[in-house]
Amino acid sequence: MKLLHTMLRVGDLDRSIHFYTELLGMKLLRRMDFPGGRFTLAFVGYGSEKDNAVLELTHNWDTDRYELGTAYGHIAIGVEDVYAACERIRAGGGKVVREPGPMQHGSTVLAFVEDPDGYRVELLAG
């Protein structure tokens, strides 16, 4: 068994693709429209779906926003330099919601950013 993907419902697909590709450095791997079901799937990630877990961004054409609920936590991404990643994301119009620094009760350097739909993404030094 292996993890294939995590699905996020997004309100504006182009805005989300921009965030994950331009600000977080992922690649758009594939995009498929399903007119009969009125939705589009876009898969983004750091490598091929064959070798890596990816994100599936699902856009239901008639829905422009979602309530996140209280069960969602975050997606974690390893970066070389958390401080530089946050500056790059902020300069690109992204939202840093927890500034870079050591985690509470530990020494791991991390930060949190938020995607256009409010999903939290943790950036970890590694």
Cα dihedral sign, 6-7-13-19: negative
Euclidean distance between CA atoms 13 and 7, whole angstroms: 13
Cβ(3)–Cβ(49) under 8 Å? Answer: no
CA distance 38 to 35: 5
Whether 56 sits among the annotated catalytic residues: the reply is: no
Q: Count of CB atoms within 10 A of residue 57's CB?
A: 24
Catalytic residue among 22, 49, 114, 122: 122
> Is the Cβ–Cβ distance between 48 and 28 less than 8 Å?
no
Active-site amino acid positions: 122
